[in-house]
Amino acid sequence: MKINRLCLIAIGLSMLGMTGTSSANLISNGSFEEDSLLFVDNGQETMVLGAGSTVLSDWTVTGNIAWLYDDYWGLTASDGDYFLDLTTYSPGGSGGVAQSIISTVAGQSYMLSFDLGSSTTYGGSPSIIASANSTSSTFSTTATSTDQWDTFSMLFVADSTSTIIELTGIGANYSGNYIGLDNVSVVAISVPEPSALALMGLGLAGIAYRRKKIAP
C-alpha cells in the first residue's frame, strides 16, 4: 500500500479544518481606482499627491507620492488602471499611505497583502515598510523585467476594533526607481491552535507508521 505526499498533505489540512482566506477584503479602494474623476494628469499620466492629501478615497497620504494611470515608463497597474509610486517626489523622503480599518476583532488573525512594483527601466530594489498597529515588516524586490509586480503578505493579530494599515516607501528618488503599490487587501484568517497542530502531527505519524508496517 502506498500513500503519496499529496495525500498526506490533504489529510493534514482536512484534520486542521483549514478553509483558506476567503473572507471579504477589509481594505477600501485597495487598487486606487475610486475617485478617478479627481485624477489631474500632469501630462505624463501622473498626479503628485502631497502629505495629508485625501484625494484617494479612504486613504491618507503620509508623504509625497504619485498616483499613476495606465503605462508609466515600463510599469502598468497590477490590478485595474491606477496604481501608486511611493518614491520621493519632493524633498523629505519617500512617501506612503495609511488607512484605518474600524471592523477588526481583537485577538483575530489577519493577512495584509499587497503588490510591490518595479521595472528594469530604472533598476534598483524597491522596498516598502508595511505596518498594522504594532506589527511591522520590510519587503523588497529586485526588478528582472520591465513590468514586474510581486505579491507580499504579512500576518498580524488585531489588538482592538480599529487597526491602522500603513505602507511606506523606503529611500530612492523617483528618478532612480519605482516603489509601485497596488492591490492592497486585509482578510481575516484562521490560524490552527497548537493542539490541532499536534493532532495533525500524530495523525500523519500514524499514517507513516502504518505504511511502513504493511509495506512488502
Indicate the domain borders of the chain: 1-18+193-216, 21-191
- CA pair distance 140, 130, nearest whole angstrom: 11
pTM score, two decimals? 0.78
Q: Tell me the C-alpha distance between 9 and 30, whole Å.
A: 33
Q: Which amino acid is at 154?
A: M
Alpha helices in the chain (DSSP H): 5-16, 194-214
pLDDT tens track of the chain, all 216 residues?
A: 444 444 444 444 444 444 444 589 999 999 999 988 899 988 878 899 998 998 999 999 998 899 998 776 778 999 999 999 998 776 656 799 999 998 999 999 999 999 999 888 876 678 999 999 999 999 998 888 888 999 999 999 999 999 999 999 987 676 667 899 999 999 999 876 554 445 445 554 554 444 444 444
Q: Which CATH class is domain 21-191?
A: mainly beta
Closest C-alpha among 147, 99, 150 to residue 127:
150
In 3-state terms, what secondary structure has residue 209? helix
In 3D space, the residue among 77, 8, 13 whose CA is nearest the CA of residue 39 turns out to be 77
CA distances 126 to 22, 173, 179, 180, Å, are 29, 11, 5, 8
